């Protein structure tokens, strides 16, 4: 009993000491953490004080364009200005009696014409102008001959469709006051895209009267030199517009 009493007294006297030691240990760790945190903040403050623009400088350097890009942008701006001046002349509407509706989508190389004729659908895909260099024989090199050597032509694809889906497809080349039929193809309604279908002989191998008959066939449906002369000017204008838009898109891409 005496021993137990002595043990309880010792335990009671040691408990406050253990609690004090625990508090001291916690305060010790707290002081260490606080000191480290204050030291880090002091170090960061010193870095910011001596190098205040370091982050902003790095961002500015990363976003600065190379000098080659700036030079390219200036060249594009100059070319855009020239293209705007060269393309100032616009086609003034369609000529009187023009039988087709025009579908001209920006960014597309072709223009589509369409009309109805006696229950048929006539569609014309007009392509960009092509430059043909024709070398004249002989030694006559005056200015008129030089101009004749550089002729432009318009590739046309004319499709005449019936209501049942069958169609005739003509590949043509239109020059000044003249339309040449390069090829003729018949499309059936069952399989209009059949690559193995017989397409007939070359158009130039047909009988001459048959060739004239097909030229007349297209003429009465509106494919004649009157509209191709207008299309010549129209496609020159479209080429200028497409080139200008192309330059602007390039400039926008390089600037971004």
The DSSP call for residue 180 is E
Report if residue 136 sits inside a domain.
Answer: yes
Report if residue 70 sits inside a domain.
Answer: no
Query: pLDDT band at 212, cuts 50/70/90?
Result: very high
Cβ–Cβ < 8 Å for 80, 248: yes
Cβ–Cβ < 8 Å for 241, 247: no
- The token pair at 182 is 């390069």
Q: How does pLDDT run across 161-201, given as a tens digit for each residue? A: 999 989 999 999 998 788 999 999 998 876 656 666 777 88
181 in the same domain as 230: yes
The DSSP call for residue 177 is T
Q: How does pLDDT run across 55-69, given as a tens digit for each residue? A: 454 444 456 778 888
- Print the domain residue range for 158: 86-255
Report if residue 67 sits inside a domain.
Answer: no
From the centroid of its chain, how far is CA 226? 33
217 in the same domain as 161: yes
51 in the same domain as 147: no
- For residue 82, the surrounding DSSP H or E stretch is helix 67-86
The DSSP call for residue 96 is T
238 in the same domain as 118: yes
243 in the same domain as 153: yes
CATH number of the domain bearing residue 188: 3.10.280.10
154 in the same domain as 237: yes
Report if residue 47 sits inside a domain.
Answer: yes
Tally of structural domains, the chain:
2
């Amino acid at each position: 009993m005496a021993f137990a009493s002595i043990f309880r007294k010792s335990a009671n006297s040691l408990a406050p000491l253990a609690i004090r030691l625990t508090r001291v240990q916690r305060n010790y760790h707290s002081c260490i953490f606080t000191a480290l945190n204050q030291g880090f903040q002091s170090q960061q403050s010193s870095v910011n004080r001596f190098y205040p623009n370091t982050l902003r400088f790095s961002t500015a350097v990363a976003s600065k364009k190379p000098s080659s890009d700036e030079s390219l942008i200036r060249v594009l701006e100059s070319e855009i200005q020239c293209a705007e001046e060269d393309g100032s002349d616009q086609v003034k509407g369609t000529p009187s009696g023009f039988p087709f509706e025009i579908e001209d989508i920006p960014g597309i190389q072709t223009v589509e014409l369409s009309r109805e004729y006696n229950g048929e659908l006539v569609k014309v895909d007009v392509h960009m102008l092509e430059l043909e260099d024709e070398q004249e024989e002989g030694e006559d090199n005056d200015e008129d001959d030089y101009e004749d050597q550089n002729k432009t032509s318009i590739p046309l694809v004319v499709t005449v469709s019936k209501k049942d889906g069958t169609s005739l497809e003509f590949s043509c080349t239109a020059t000044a006051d003249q339309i040449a039929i390069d090829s003729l193809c018949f499309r059936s309604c069952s399989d209009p895209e059949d690559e193995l279908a017989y397409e007939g002989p070359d158009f130039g191998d047909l009988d001459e009267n048959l060739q004239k008959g097909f030229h007349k066939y297209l003429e009465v449906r509106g494919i004649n030199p009157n509209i191709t002369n207008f299309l010549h000017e129209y496609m020159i204008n479209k080429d200028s517009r497409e080139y200008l838009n192309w330059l602007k898109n390039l400039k926008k891409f390089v600037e971004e």
